[in-house]
Amino acid sequence: MDSRAWSAESREALEAVAASAAAFVACPGAGVACPGAGAESADLRADSLPDADPLRTLADDCLDGLADVARLEARTAALKARLTADYGQATRSLVTPAASPQERTAQEMSMVAEVACVLTVSERTAGALLSESLALTTALPLTLTALQAGTISWQHARIIVDETAGLDPAGAAALEAHFLDPDAPNPARGCQAGDLVPSRFRAKARAWRERHHPVSIEKRHTKSTEDRRVDYVPDRDGMAWLSAYLPADTAAGIWERTTAAARALQGPAEARTLAQLRADITATWLLTSHTTGTGAPGGSAGAGAGTTGGIAGAGTGMVGGVAGGVPSPRAQVLITVPVLSLLGATDEPATLDGYGPIPPSMARRLITDGADSFYRVLTDPRDGAPLEIGRTSYRVTKAQRQWLRLRDGRCPFPGCSNHSLDNEADHLLAWADGGTTGITNLGQPCPRHHRLKHSTAWKPTGASKDHPPGWTSPSSRHYPSEHQDWEPPEWPHDILTKDTLPDHGLPADPGHQADPAPTGHAGQEPGQEPGR
C-alpha cells in the first residue's frame, strides 16, 4: 500500500509501529534478550544472576515480551485511529455538500457502513471508531501522543474520549492533562493512567469529571434519562442477556426489591440460588404483570406459604422443564423445528428467530403454550428443507414474507443483527425498473439499511431462494451477506429402517432432496394442515 498519500501524522504513526514490530521480530526467541525495555531488564537479570534458573529466565522473558506486545498494540491502535480519521476527512471531502439534514445523515451512514464492512465489525462499532478517532486527532492530543508512545492502552484512550464527551474544549484539555501531564497544576497522584486497569481508571476519570463538569449533575441527569433503554443480547446454550439502562435510583430500587423477594424465598426447601431466584422473580414480574404465575404448575399468585410476587418457593430449579417455573412469553417470532425433534425422537436443537439454536424442549413448550403468536416452521428430516410455514397462512404475499424471514434470519446487510420481525420486504430491482415480486428479487433490510439503499450509492446484489443478497459499496467493494447455517437433521437409530419409517408418518426415502421453496400452499384450503 502506498503511504505517500497519507497525512504526515499517519506516516509518523506507521513508522513508530514499524519500528516496534521490527524490534520485536528481531528477538531470536524466548530466553534471549530482546530490544526495548524488556531487553534492559533481561540484561540486568543476566548480570546479577549469572547462574539463574533457565525456567525463571524464560518466564521473565515471556513477561517482558507481553509488555512489548502491549506497547505494540497501543501504537497500532494509534495508527488505526489516524487512518480512520484520515478516511473520514477524505470521504467528507469527496462528496458534495449535503443539501439537507437527511442527505447529511445518509452520507454519514454510507461512510460508517464502509468502515464496518472493511473491518468486519458492526456499524455501531464502526461509528464509535470514527467518532473516537476524530476526537483523538482533533481534541485530545495528549491522549493520542500517549497511545502512540505505548504508555496507555486503547481501552484507556477510549475512556478518556468517553469521559470528555460533553465537556467544552477547556474541560476536555483539563481532564486529559490531569491524568497524562505530570506538569499540570494538579496532576493525578499515585499510579500513572496506563498503570491502572481500565475499570479503575474509568472510576477515577469519572469522579474527576463529575467534580469539575461545568454543567450541574441535575441538568445532565435530566437529559440522560432520555436515553433510557432495554438491550437484548443472545448468548450460548439457549440463554440470553437482558439489560436495562435506567436512572440510578430506579435501577437500585429494582435490584433491592428483587433481592428482598429472593431472600424471602430462601429456605431449606428451596434449592435455587439467590441469583437464580432474582432472575426468576424478574422474569415472572415482567411476563405476568406482577401477579400471575407461581412457579409451580396450577398455582396462583400468593397461594400457599413461601410465595413472593408470584414466585413459588419451589424446591427445584426447574418446574415442568421451565427454569424457575417462569411462564411462556408470547411474541410474533418464527420457531424452526426439525420434525423428529418436535416428535421427541431426537434432541436436535430448534431455531428461535432473532436468537439461534434453542433446546427442543423449549421449542415444544413455546409451540404448546404460545400457539397463538408463534409461527411454527417444520423442516424435512431428509435434508433440512422447510416443509411448512405456519398453520393457517396460505396467501402468497404472507408466505413470501415469512420465507424471507426464514431465508435471511435478519437484515441481510453485512454485520447487521436487526431481527427479521422488524424488517420489511423490499424489491432488489425496483418494480418500476422491471423487477419481479419473487423470492430471488426480494430482500428484507431493516429500516436503517432500507434508507441506505435509497439515499446513497450502496446497492444490494442478487439473491436466490436460499441465499440473501450481498451489497456493493460506493467504493465498488462487494461485501457478502451472512447465510443461514442449515444442516441435515439427525436421524434416531431406531427409525432408520424402511419398515419403521411409515409408522412415524415420514417419507421412506431419506436420500430424496425436496424442493425447499414454499410451493403447493396455494392449492390448499384454509385450515388444512400442509402435507395432510
Q: What are the sequence ranges of the domains in the chain?
A: 8-222, 231-323, 333-392+487-523
Residues 6 or more apart whose Cβ sits within 8 Å of residue 87 = 111, 115
| The pLDDT of residue 130 | 96
What single-letter amino acid sits at 302?
Answer: G
CB 82 within 8 A of CB 162: no
Amino acid letter, 259: T
Q: Show the low-confidence residues of the chain (pLDDT under 70).
A: 1-6, 24-52, 289-334, 339, 353-356, 367-399, 420-422, 431, 485-489, 494-532
Show the cell assigned to 338: 426439525
In 114-236, the DSSP E strands lie at: 229-234
Q: What is the pLDDT of residue 289?
A: 65
478-515 in b/e burial notation, b at 16+ Cβ within 10 A?
ebebbeeebeebebbeebeeeeebeeeebeeebeeeee
DSSP assignment of 392-458: S---HHHHHHHHHHHHHSB--STT---BGGG---EESS-GGGT--SSGGGEE---HHHHHHHHHSS-
Q: What is the pLDDT of residue 487?
A: 64
For residue 244, the SS3 value is: strand
Q: Could you tell me which of 127, 174, 180, 185 has the C-alpha nearest to residue 157? A: 180
Q: Which helix (H) or strand (E) holds 391?
A: none
Residues linked to residue 311 through DSSP beta bridges, in sequence order: 308
pLDDT for 344: 74
Cα four-point dihedral sign 29, 34, 37, 41: positive
Please give, one letter per residue, the 3-state secondary structure of 298-350. Answer: CCCCCCCCCCECCECCCCCCEECCEECCCCCCCCCEEEEEEHHHHCCCCCCCE
Q: How far is CA 249 from CA 227, 252, 308, in A?
A: 15, 5, 22
At 259, list the grid cell: 433481592
User: Whole-model pTM?
Assistant: 0.63
Look up residue 504 and give its amino acid: H
Distance in Å from the first CA to the final CA of the chain: 62
Using alpha carbons, select from 406, 408, 388, 387 the residue that is nearest to residue 512. Answer: 387
CA distance 310 to 302: 6
User: Which tens digits make up the pLDDT trace of 435-468?
Assistant: 777 777 888 888 889 989 989 999 998 888 778 8
Q: What is the signed CA dihedral for 278, 281, 283, 288, rounded to 10 degrees?
A: -170
DSSP conformational letter for 240:
E
- pLDDT for 358 equals 76
- CB-based burial of residue 177 (10 Å sphere; 0-12 exposed, 13-18 middle, 19+ buried)? middle
438/309 Cα distance (integer angstroms): 51
pLDDT of amino acid 163:
93
Cell 425433534 belongs to 341
CB 331 within 8 A of CB 349: no
Q: Which grid coordinates are listed for 25?
A: 521480530
- The answer to whether 412 touches 481, Cβ cutoff 8 Å, is yes
Report d(CA 135, CA 161) in Å as an integer: 7
